[in-house]
Amino acid sequence: MSAMPTPPAAPKMTATAFSALKGSGRPLVMITAYDHPSARLVEEAGVDAILVGDSMGMTVLGHSSTLPVTVDDIARATAAVARATTHTLIVADMPFMSYQVSYEEGMRNAGRLVAEGGAHAVKLEGASAATLLLTRGLTEAGIPVMGHVGLTPQSVNALGGYRTQAKDATAAAKLIAECDALEQAGAFAIVLECIPAELAERVTERAGVPTIGIGAGVACDGQVQVFHDLLGLGEFVPRHAKRYVDAGSIIREAVARYADDVRGRSFPGDEQSTHVSGEMIDEAFSAVHVLNRSQS
Ligand code: KIV
């Protein structure tokens, strides 16, 4: 009997390969994942990149913002994602205050996400002088950096809420300059979050690296979305997301059926149980008093 041919291994998506797809006409697909089963599923679905986002603060840790997320949280989640995947690009978010305090701390924390977590790249929010310096330093140290401008959730308190950014010419010019500066500093791609579609289209035409949109229209080089938003696992669907399945209802209904089965003693059934002879059990019960006596 001849053995089944092994399917060719999918080529590894690296930050360089991801960046080189700019202008190929093939939109890049990125989605968040924070654990082993979801990472396995999204890789099997054929995405190009996984973002271990600090959105995990809200989607899986139950916080009301991304601010409480720590480097330990992201490192552990990234390691779980890395163990589940073989060829998808893994980008780990640098959480709030993991790179704003000093250049050295930023370098060290990014290094942890790569060395401990197995990330292939990190993502930094904003384009301050310090962030640009760190982007250059990390890139030179061999850690590819994805930029992130527009609505940057780590600055929610300064921005005054989660709302569309760059809606006037002054703010749009600042965003265009930020993208230029990030590209010059070495960023291999830039997330554009919640900005007008027309602005994202022009920025995409201008940029030499891929733009990855979330709430930034269809003309970006790629899109990123939060796993829980697409699958109906969150409490609400943000305007920029689309619910492809109501997995929340499916899960709720399945767990309710399990509860009914337990309460009706129809679970576990014979298929989930192991059996031995009644004689063996009788023997065990008659032997137990000997053990009890020897222990007292
Ligand atoms: O943390 C995250 O999920 C993100 C995306 C919204 C881009 O940063």
pLDDT value at 218 more than 70? yes
Instruction: Say which of 193, 198, 205, 279 is annotated catalytic.
Output: 193
Residue-level pLDDT at 292:
83
Buried b (16+ CB within 10 A) or exposed e, 2-12: eeeeeeeeeee
**Rounded Cα–Cα distance for residues 54 and 77 (Å):** 10
Query: Does the pLDDT value for residue 8 go beyond 80?
Result: no
pLDDT, mean of residues 107-114: 98
What is the spatial distance between Cα 33 and Cα 41, in angstroms, rounded to a whole number? 9
Residue 125 Cβ contacting ligand 1 at under 6 Å:
no
Residue 54 Cα to ligand 1 midpoint, Å, equals 6
* Among the listed residues 189, 142, 174, the one whose alpha carbon sits nearest the alpha carbon of residue 23: 189
**Identity at 15, one-letter amino acid code:** A
Q: Is the pLDDT of residue 248 over 70?
A: yes
**How far does residue 92's CA lie from ligand 1's centre (Å)?**
10
Give percent above pLDDT 90 in the chain.
93
The confidence band for 7, taking pLDDT boundaries of 50, 70 and 90, is low
CB contact at 8 A, 200 and 217: yes
Query: What's the confidence (pLDDT) of residue 129?
Result: 98
Whether the predicted pLDDT of 131 surpasses 90: yes
**How high does pLDDT run on average in the chain?**
96
Residue with CA nearest ligand 1 atom 4: 53
74, 193, 225, best to mutate for ligand 1 pocket (most atoms within 8 Å of CB): 193
Whether 3 shows a pLDDT value over 90: the answer reads: no
CA pair distance 236, 229, nearest whole angstrom: 8
Q: How far apart are CA 29 and CA 65, in angstroms?
A: 25
Q: Are 209 and 187 in contact (CB under 8 A)?
A: yes
Residue 9 confidence (pLDDT): 76
Confidence of residue 207 (pLDDT cuts 50, 70, 90): very high
Closest C-alpha to ligand 1, atom 8: 53
140 is catalytic: no
CA–CA gap between residue 161 and residue 152 (Å, rounded): 10
For residue 2, what pLDDT band results from cuts at 50, 70 and 90?
Answer: low
pLDDT of res. 294 = 77
The arithmetic mean of pLDDT across residues 127-149, rounded, is 98
Determine contact, residues 175/195, Cβ cutoff 8 Å: yes
CA of 224, closest atom in ligand 1: 7
Taking the model in full, what pTM does it have? 0.94
